[in-house]
């Protein structure tokens, strides 16, 4: 059994920085290769993080027998084909969220995992956050009882990154598939991952990317184009599960709101919890309601530490020391929710699953 693995990074965009920094801090991993269609960018990343190989073609990186595992940090429309190629090339895979763009792709990736026996970890990074781990302990011990309702919001008043994020052909959608995937998965994971029964969703494209707004800064993709935008600016949905529980969610890139907002709440028979914007427990003892604040380092999600935890867990899983917290099967179920919301919005009707 190997004690250290060689990592190949596929895609040199902004999200790759979080992967690269985390691998650099992981003693059991070596950043071996970087691949990007922009050779200069790949060279810069390789030099910065000490990779010995630079590639501009995914196939060439995957043909390198020294690469044990890859992080897929590319546009959403390439997640599935690259992941499948990597698995069939004998590599373990950490693929950024979302797993893919369609259910057909999701099932194809799942099949490749089964046929190859290799590990695929979906980048549901919030599962690996310290605040999530703390809350899950309370849930697993039954302190909240059965969780029957969850509510999540991730609203940006001005936050369309533009570029490939606002190009539906490359991204698959807007805030729902970019932001909603995080909070939907977080709620679903903490609810015990119940099977989806039905979905009713709405999508709106009323404000566009609001590139006309001045005096308020926001993140812009490297290929930002003020004119191009083919994704929704707001999505909302109610998801019903087979166990009777339900999840309500709304997310936006653009909204006439006073301020940005992130909120994730769960409600059980014995207690409730908020995990965003800060971890809090709402319990009942001796006929008295208690608002309890855990004494922990991070009440909110810490991106840097969350990614470090995710990457370290992936490396340990590749080495056979742990099982991933976010397997391909979970990626498939979350894609069912995302695509179901888009389908419901397009058809203006509830989508029911067999």
Give tens-digit pLDDT for 189-227.
Answer: 999 999 999 999 999 999 998 989 999 999 888 888 888
Same domain, 80 and 118: yes
Q: What DSSP letter does each residue of 266-288 carry, written as one string?
A: EEESSEEEEEESS-EEEEEETTE
pLDDT of 36 strictly over 70: yes
Is 280 found in the same domain as 178? yes
Are residues 131 and 116 part of one domain?
no
pLDDT at 263 (0 to 100): 98
Q: What is the DSSP letter of 25?
A: H
Indicate if 245 and 113 belong to the same structural domain: no
d(CA 247, CA 337): 11
Q: What is the dihedral of CA 216, 222, 228, 231, to 10 degrees?
A: -80
Q: Are 37 and 74 in contact (CB under 8 A)?
A: no
Q: Are residues 209 and 277 in the same domain?
A: yes
> What's the CATH code of the domain at 202?
3.30.360.10
| CA–CA distance, 54 with 61 (Å, rounded to integer) | 8
The CATH number for 99's domain is 3.40.50.720
d(CA 272, CA 184): 17
Strand partners, 55: 35
Query: Per residue, what are the HEC states of 83-109?
Result: HHHHHHCCCEEEEECCCCCCHHHHHHH
pLDDT at residue 115 in the model: 98
Q: Are residues 120 and 135 in the same domain?
A: no
Per-residue tokens: 304: 């840097």
* Cα–Cα distances in angstroms (integers) from residue 214 to residues 158, 218, 230, 232, 254, in the given order: 11, 10, 22, 21, 14
Do residues 147 and 245 both lie within one domain? yes
- What's the mean pLDDT in 111-121? 98
For residues 95 and 209, membership in a common domain is answered with no
Q: What percent of the chain stands above pLDDT 90?
A: 95
Note whether 292 and 281 are within 8 A (CB).
yes
Residue 320 burial by CB count (10 A; 0-12/13-18/19+): exposed, middle or buried? exposed
Count of structural domains within the chain: 2
Same domain, 186 and 250: yes
Phi, psi of 139 (to 5 degrees): -65, -45
Local structure of 206: helix, strand or coil: coil
**Hunting for tokens 């250290």 — which residue is that?**
4
Predicted confidence band at 187 (pLDDT cuts at 50, 70, 90)? very high
Give the separation between CA 18 and CA 1, rounded to whole angstroms.
28
Domain residues for 296?
127-302+334-352
Average pLDDT over residues 91-96: 98
What are the tokens at 351? 């989508």
255 and 176 assigned to the same domain: yes
Mean pLDDT of 290-298: 96
Its pTM surpasses 0.85: yes
DSSP state of 210: -
- The per-residue pLDDT for range 39-90, each reduced to its tens digit, is 999 999 999 999 999 999 999 999 999 999 999 999 999 999 999 999 999 9
Token pair of 134, please? 């703390």
Please report which helix (H) or strand (E) contains residue 166, including its range.
Answer: none
Tens of pLDDT along 231-275? 999 999 999 999 999 999 999 999 999 999 999 999 999 999 999
CB 246 within 8 A of CB 151: no
pLDDT band, residue 1 (cuts 50/70/90):
low
Mean pLDDT for 27-41 is 97
Residues 171-190 have a mean pLDDT of 98
Same domain assignment for residues 95 and 167 = no
What's the CA gap between 70 and 78, in Å, rounded? 14
Two tokens, residue 252: 């936006």
Token pair listed for 272: 């409730």
Both 111 and 145 in one domain: the answer is: no
């Amino acid at each position: 059994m190997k004690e250290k693995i060689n990592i190949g990074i596929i895609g040199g965009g902004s999200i790759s920085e979080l992967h690269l920094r985390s691998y650099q801090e992981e003693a059991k991993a070596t950043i071996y290769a970087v691949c990007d269609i922009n050779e200069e960018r790949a060279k810069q990343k390789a030099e910065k993080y000490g990779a010995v190989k630079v590639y501009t073609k995914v196939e060439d990186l995957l043909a390198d027998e020294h690469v044990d595992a890859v992080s897929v940090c590319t546009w959403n429309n390439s997640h599935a084909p690259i992941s499948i190629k990597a698995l069939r090339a004998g590599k373990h895979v950490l693929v950024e969220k979302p797993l893919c763009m369609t259910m057909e792709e999701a099932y194809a990736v799942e099949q490749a995992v089964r046929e190859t026996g290799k590990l695929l970890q979906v980048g549901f990074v919030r599962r690996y956050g310290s605040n999530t781990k703390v809350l899950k302990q309370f849930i697993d011990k039954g302190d909240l009882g059965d969780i029957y309702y969850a509510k999540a919001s991730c609203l940006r008043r001005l936050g369309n990154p533009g570029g490939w994020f606002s190009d539906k052909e490359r991204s698959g959608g807007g805030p729902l598939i970019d932001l909603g995937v995080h909070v939907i998965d977080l709620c679903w994971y903490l609810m015990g991952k119940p099977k989806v029964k039905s979905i009713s969703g709405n999508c709106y494209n009323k404000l566009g990317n609001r590139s006309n707004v001045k005096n308020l800064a926001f993140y812009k993709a490297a290929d930002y184009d003020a004119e191009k935008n083919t994704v929704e600016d707001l999505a909302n949905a109610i998801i019903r599960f087979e166990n009777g529980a339900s999840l309500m969610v709304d997310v936006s890139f653009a909204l006439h709101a006073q301020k940005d907002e992130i909120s994730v709440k769960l409600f059980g028979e014995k207690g409730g919890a908020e995990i965003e914007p800060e971890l809090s427990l709402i319990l009942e003892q001796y006929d008295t309601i208690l608002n309890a604040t855990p004494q922990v380092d991070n009440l909110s999600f810490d991106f840097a530490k969350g990614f470090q935890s995710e990457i370290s867990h992936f490396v340990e899983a590749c080495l056979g020391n742990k099982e991933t917290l976010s397997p391909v099967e979970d990626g498939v179920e979350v894609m069912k929710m995302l695509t179901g919301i888009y389908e419901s919005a397009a058809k203006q009707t509830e989508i029911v699953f067999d």
